[in-house]
Chain A
């Protein structure tokens, strides 16, 4: 009888040491804590921050989320595959500068404005894709740690960005571009004669402009669509499956016939690509290209990915997690300002949350037993 149960135990090592309720609680908590935390933050600020839970403020948060989420989206794929992309911030800046230069010059030389904008976007995003191709190829083919490669690419992008922009913000952008960056899908006008307008900007002028809210600006709409595509690709397609597989066991993937090198290259192209998209959207929103556009955002985006439960060991994570992580950061940022907490405290709070998230990740790994292997 005793030997029977021992044999049983041998054939199920997972059941050899049954998980305590405490461990199960940590496991469960590691999965849902970010959702609960976000809900708690929103509740807290709605209670304490005057005007936090307004249409205008929620729209401001969405606009602030755009670059964090776009950068975080590509990064999510890269980190799940076991890599990291430290170039995203300055690639975003380079794309912003290059798109602004092309649009300005094309408009000045008489090109049709829409075509000039398209050309600018294409060049900006193209620069990003090239940066990703370089990062990915060196990482995959020469087996250099991506940490180093993307750091190098980051400096190159930074240098080129500042050189091309001649140390300034690249201005001279057409009003059509500014509209693309700031106008919206919906408009809401407060007051008696107000209402909701779809796709059509109501005629309000002067003091009345204060009553106008832009709901879902175009960059927000674009980001929303890109996030949906990202979720779909990661969860439902072969590309997503291979991304997880490489993060879980690179050798096994390659032995199984997964084109590992090509896949890794594509992941860095994707990451630089979504960052470059953030760059051109920055140009549109601010009517100017700035080499340092992504600098303050990059660390936020990596923090968002980590808070969202993407494991830095690779193999684990979801796009929705990164979105939640980014929302936590954006809500914190605006919320703390509203309750008059000095900006610098934000950094400390964000830092503590990131460390908390990493501890959750570790705890989960130790309980599952992956870290022991």
Chain B
């Protein structure tokens, strides 16, 4: 089976600091890959190269088998790489449907296209249908995002990605700052993505979450990949050793 995403020997340097150091990574269709590591290990930097925020200093990215040049976040999105950011990337002063359609608003045309009015009704209905498939029910669908709870916002961000035909979903600490119930809801959303065959890269500090939803776990330590294991074949204790830098499966390969 061909991987959706293949990252080869990718490196990112910030001045003298090597944040990501010759990392290889593959994500297969329908797979949830957990990405773990200590603070500053390079997790966010790695996925930001895939989502077009940073340009790799070295290395190559292949998406659906083809070499991918990803210069901007919108290029990544056009290819179907959707990222749910740590800080969510929603506009708090807009409604749920305005956020889902932000940058790709649906318009009604008048006077032969000279006048274009936002088609609010269409956008709201589409958004509600979508949230329905994710089993998310908002008490007030036309409320501004800033009035929603953290989990509801997370659901909106995921719904947005789904609506625009995500081929790969990247989530950086999606359960941060959420209550217990809400965390469970987000994990549930990840399972639903998997059901819809959308592969997910999940960054989390919470090992319980990683074990709950991932098929495979990759550990970064100081910018290097030190482990790449099937979730069913590893344990919390073992992963902690990799995260601390006490073990490294690829030391020999790098030498």
Contacts and interface: CB of A to CB of B under 8 A. Distances in A.
B89 A245 contact: no
Interface in B136-192: 139, 146-152, 179-182, 185
A256 B103 contact: yes
A222 interface: no
Nearest to B117: A236
B104 interface: yes
Nearest to A240: B118
A254 B85 CA distance: 13
- How many A residues touch the partner, as a band? 20 to 34
Interface in A231-287: 236-238, 241-242, 244-245, 247-249, 251-258
A258 to B, nearest CB: 5
Interface stretch (A11-19, A58-66, A328-336): A11-19
B236 interface: no
Interface in A200-254: 236-238, 241-242, 244-245, 247-249, 251-254
A14 B98 CA distance: 20
A251 B74 CA distance: 12
A244 B94 contact: yes
Interface string B22-39: 000000000000000000
A245 B91 contact: yes
A253 B91 contact: yes
A308 interface: no
B77 interface: yes
A14 B149 contact: yes
A141 B146 CA distance: 29
A370 B145 CA distance: 11
A355 interface: no
Interface in A39-61: none
Contacts of A257: 73-74, 77, 102-104
B116 A237 contact: yes
Give the residue among A236, A242, A244, A256 with the most B Cβ atoms within 10 A. Answer: A256
A238 B73 contact: no
Give the residue among A13, A258, A316, A368 with the most B Cβ atoms within 10 A. Answer: A13
A254 B73 contact: yes
Given A14-B147, A248-B92, A256-B104, 9 more contacts: A10-B149, A10-B179, A10-B182, A11-B152, A238-B105, A245-B93, A252-B88, A257-B74, A316-B93
8 contacts: A237-B118, A245-B98, A251-B87, A252-B89, A252-B91, A257-B74, A257-B104, A258-B103
